[in-house]
């Protein structure tokens, strides 16, 4: 009777499960069974054609995208990307290289160049006549491509070609690829650079367009080969040459974007560490009697600079050297330069705070005084309104009692006697009769009546 080694048994079971899961994974990821070779080749070949409808759609899409970039509208830009026919010639290039179809390659290249030229001309024309000339964030976002744009183009193009090769093409995927790969906005940005003679925009955006186009075509080529599309004419030497050319071009395209990505990561790390350094250094004894009131961070590849404006007791050269050493060793800012701008005089921070508090108190006092004046003015205006209403009512009553009275006015007037130095405000009335004469008895009666009516002891009359 033989016995099985438990270790061997466990090992056998492990490999059995591993083979099962590999088989299961292969079933889940298989693509060839659902590939529609004839329909895919036919669709891509038709989309390469550039005349009639495709030409007009491209022109309209370019104008829409240019407007979206000009007014900084993401929604408008997305709409332009959805209707753009630029994907056709790029997919055609990938298919032509993968199937060794020389005629399709020539046609795809020719039409792609024509599309690019028309796109640049249309967008340049728009930006020449547009009254909005400032570069918005949507334009600025397309002049510094990085390795991440390579990833987006490659994997977006991969999703696109996989969707195109299915028997039931998922249009939502194809639409999503058009948005993700963003072929239209870089061309419009390049047109903006031409129209405004800002060649940084032109070359940066054109490089982004080239990245997107190249890696979409590369992903199409790889999946065409992987899925086993039928080849029109296979030549081993030509196939080897194509592989070498693709490899060289891939490296050439990736290197600048990789450098840009490294610079972007370095810049982000610099700003993060610089903020941390400035915040924490102010909690150290170096800044007990000092205060940082402004910080400026400038990144460049050779020597990033942090500039701190400090008020308070001046730091010595030794203190500044120690702070810079701390910045470089403890915060990873080894190549950064620290510049500390000082007031050049000793300032007592406590005294400075007292001065600020006194200024604020004075400001509050001024505000209170202004509020008092405003309140007094409001009160005076209210009294004037009441006085006007009373004067109007008295005038009506007088006109009824004295029909010969032509006009009447009443006002409180300030009287000053320079001999006695006596000052007082006395109600004063203005009377004018229709015959222009003096009506002494009537005026005396009016004065007596008004003293009672207004409850005053004195009242003057002016003719």
Nearest to 216 by CA among 151, 147, 120: 151
pLDDT cut 90: percent of the chain above it = 0
Tens of pLDDT, residue by residue over 355-388, are 566 666 767 777 777 777 777 767 666 666 676 7
**DSSP state string for 253-286:** HHHHHHHHHHHHHHHHHHHHHHHHHHHHHTTSGG
Tens of pLDDT, residue by residue over 63-103, are 888 888 887 777 777 777 777 777 888 888 888 888 888 88
Residue 255, token pair as written in the block: 């290197």
pTM above 0.75, yes or no: no
CATH 1.20.1080, the chain: domain bounds:
28-234
- pLDDT surpassing 80 at residue 191: yes
**Do 52 and 184 meet the contact criterion of CB atoms below 8 Å apart?**
no
Beta strands in 88-170 (DSSP E): none
Bridge partners (DSSP) listed for residue 166:
35
CATH superfamily of 268-342: Cation efflux protein, cytoplasmic domain (3.30.70.1350)
Architecture label for domain 28-234: Up-down Bundle (1.20)
Lowest mean pLDDT among 9-13, 48-52, 123-127, 444-448: 9-13
SS3 170: coil
Tens of pLDDT, residue by residue over 234-271, are 667 777 777 788 788 788 878 887 777 788 788 888 88
Nearest-5° Cα angle at 164, 163 to 169: 70
Nearest to 91 by CA among 182, 216, 215, 209: 216
CATH 3.30.70.1350, the chain: domain bounds:
268-342
Distance CA 340, CA 320 (A): 8
Q: What is the mean pLDDT of the chain?
A: 78
For position 1, what pLDDT does the model report? Answer: 45
Distance CA 303, CA 385 (A): 72
Give 380-462's CATH code, choosing from 3.40.228.10, 3.40.50.1950, 3.30.300.30, 3.90.550.10: 3.30.300.30
Which has more confidence, 356 or 332? 332
């Amino acid at each position: 009777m033989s016995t099985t080694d438990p270790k061997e048994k466990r090992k056998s079971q492990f490999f059995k499960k591993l083979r099962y899961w590999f088989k299961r994974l292969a079933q889940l990821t298989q693509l060839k069974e659902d590939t529609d070779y004839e329909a895919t080749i036919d669709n891509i070949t038709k989309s390469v054609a550039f005349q009639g409808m495709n030409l007009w759609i491209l022109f309209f899409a370019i104008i829409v995208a240019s407007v979206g970039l000009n007014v900084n509208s993401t929604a408008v830009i997305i709409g332009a990307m959805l209707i753009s026919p630029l994907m056709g010639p790029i997919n055609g290039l990938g298919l032509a290289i993968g199937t060794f179809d020389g005629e399709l390659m020539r046609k795809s290249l020719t039409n792609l160049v024509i599309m690019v030229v028309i796109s640049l001309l249309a967008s340049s024309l728009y930006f020449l006549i547009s009254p909005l000339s400032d570069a918005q964030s949507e334009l600025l976002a397309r002049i510094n491509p990085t390795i991440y744009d390579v990833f987006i183009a490659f994997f977006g193009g991969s999703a696109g070609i996989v969707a195109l090769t299915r028997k039931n093409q998922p249009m939502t995927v194809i639409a999503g690829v058009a948005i993700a790969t963003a072929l239209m906005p870089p061309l419009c940005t390049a047109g903006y650079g031409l129209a405004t003679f800002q060649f940084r925009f032109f070359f940066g955006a054109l490089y982004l367009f080239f990245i997107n186009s190249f890696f979409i075509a590369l992903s199409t080529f790889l999946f065409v080969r992987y899925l086993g599309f039928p080849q029109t004419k296979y030549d081993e030497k030509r196939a080897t040459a194509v592989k070498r050319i693709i490899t060289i071009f891939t490296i050439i395209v990736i290197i600048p974007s990789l450098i840009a990505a490294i610079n972007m990561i370095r810049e982000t790390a610099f700003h993060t560490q610089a903020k941390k350094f400035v915040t924490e250094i102010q909690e150290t004894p170096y800044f007990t009697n000092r205060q940082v009131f402004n910080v400026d961070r400038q990144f460049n590849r050779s020597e990033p600079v942090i500039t701190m404006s400090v008020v308070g007791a001046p730091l010595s050269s030794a203190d500044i050297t120690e702070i810079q050493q701390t910045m470089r060793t403890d915060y990873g800012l080894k190549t950064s330069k620290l510049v500390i701008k000082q007031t050049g005089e000793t300032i007592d921070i406590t005294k400075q705070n007292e001065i600020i508090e006194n200024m604020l108190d004075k400001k509050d006092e001024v505000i209170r005084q202004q509020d008092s004046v405003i309140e007094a003015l409001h009160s005076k205006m209210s009294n004037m309104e009441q006085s006007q209403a009373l004067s109007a009512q008295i005038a009506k009553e007088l006109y009824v009692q004295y029909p010969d009275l032509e006009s009447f006015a009443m006002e409180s007037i300030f009287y000053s006697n320079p001999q006695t130095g006596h000052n007082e405000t006395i109600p004063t009335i203005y009377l004018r009769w229709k015959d222009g004469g003096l009506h002494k008895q009537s005026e005396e009666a009016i004065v007596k009546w008004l003293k009672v009516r207004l409850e005053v002891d004195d009242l003057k009359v002016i003719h």
